[in-house]
Amino acid sequence: MRRILTGIQPSGHITLGNYLGAIRPLLSLQNEEDTELLVFIADLHAITVPQDRQNLKKNIKELAALFLACGLDLNKSHMFIQSEVPSHNQLGWVLECNSYIGELERMTQFKDKKQKQVEGVSAGLLTYPPLMAADILLYDTDLVPVGEDQKQHLEITRNLAERFNNKYGETFKVPEPFILKEGARIMSLVDPSRKMSKSDPNPKGFIALLDDINIAKKKIKSAITDSDGTIRYDLENKPGISNLLTIYSSLTNIPIKNLEIRYENTNYQNFKEDLANIVADFLTKIQSKYDYYINSGDLDLILNSGRDYAYHYASRKIQKVYRRIGLGRN
């Protein structure tokens, strides 16, 4: 059986970038035969930067309900909260001891996030990749759907798996990233040179899946574009409009080439107006399903059953790892 796994941090409100980069590719695989999905809320990763207790709690539940609202099929998947399965911390530590500071310091996400910390840079921000590797390697994962920004972390995960296997004997499956060409890097609406990010202090930069519909429409209509006026995909010279074309195409499945032809003789305002309506329809559908799940008592039962399933699998793996290394008495 093929196992697909991904995690998202409950570090803010889930964005269209998270959806197009990670959730949509994940869901595109769930109907394939002989495939199982493991989906988790990466709360241990979220605390690498400061989090408010109440917000964190709320974001964890919100993310769980959103996965379901986006269409996660519970007959094919298990959803759980990372901190409820202690094997993640256990393997994280082991892999940390097999990581080199130099390779961790080279990670782009570390370098970016380090710049933004006002209260000091936590050691966890640096040692985050071995914890992410643990998330993946505990479950003999085959494929990991992620956005482009996580490619480097997948590479280090593969390196750590191979390093461990060489040193202690075959223990981990070496996973592959699953990165879709379109939507893997959605950019900020206020600065198309930066990626759309849920922890952006300026909410105009991102569309959250739970944004008020009129506010979301306004964000699209006021997205930064250039002054050239033609609707053409050109990442280098027209990053703003290219980003909007990518969003349009990803949500409608209309190829970008066809959109360029459709909007050849119009202006940015018309194009943005249409895109705003497409985004509004998409959000409306998700939000009505979200309202159902967040208010249903099922959510806790679903998370309990996901935790038990993950715990069972992961605790066997960590015992094997400990034995291989020579830890404890067994």
Catalytic residues: 113, 195, 198
The C-alpha atoms of residue 208 and residue 202 are separated, in whole angstroms, by 12
Query: Per-residue string for binding with ligand ATP, 139-168, x by CB under 6 A?
Result: -------xx-xx------------------
Residue with tokens 């590797």: 133
The C-alpha atoms of residue 223 and residue 198 are separated, in whole angstroms, by 16
For position 136 contacting ligand LTN by CB under 6 A, the verdict is: yes
With a CB cutoff of 8 Å and minimum separation 6, the contacts of 312 are none
Tokens of residue 80, six digits: 């759980």
Q: Select from 62-70, 132-140, 293-301, 312-320 the region that touches ligand LTN (CB under 6 A).
A: 132-140
For the chain, report the end-to-end CA distance as a whole number of angstroms.
Answer: 30
Which of ligand LTN, ligand ATP, none interacts with 132 (beta carbon under 5 to 8 A by kind)?
Answer: ligand LTN
Three-class SS string for 160-171?
HHHHHHHHHCCC
Instruction: For the segment 169-198, give every residue that binds ligand ATP (CB under 6 A).
Output: 184-186, 195-198
With a CB cutoff of 8 Å and minimum separation 6, the contacts of 189 are 196, 204, 205, 206, 207, 219, 220, 222, 223, 224, 243
Which of ligand ATP, ligand LTN, none interacts with 127 (beta carbon under 5 to 8 A by kind)?
Answer: none
Helix (H, G, I), strand (E, B) or coil at 108: helix
Query: Per-residue string for binding with ligand LTN, 142-161, x by CB under 6 A?
Result: --x-x---x--x--------
Residue whose beta carbon is closest to ligand ATP: 21
For position 42 contacting ligand LTN by CB under 6 A, the verdict is: yes
For position 48 contacting ligand LTN by CB under 6 A, the verdict is: no
Q: Select from 4-12, 56-64, 206-214, 307-315 the region that touches ligand LTN (CB under 6 A).
A: 4-12
- For ligand ATP, the binding residue among 3, 4, 5, 8 (CB under 6 A) is 8
For position 6 contacting ligand LTN by CB under 6 A, the verdict is: yes
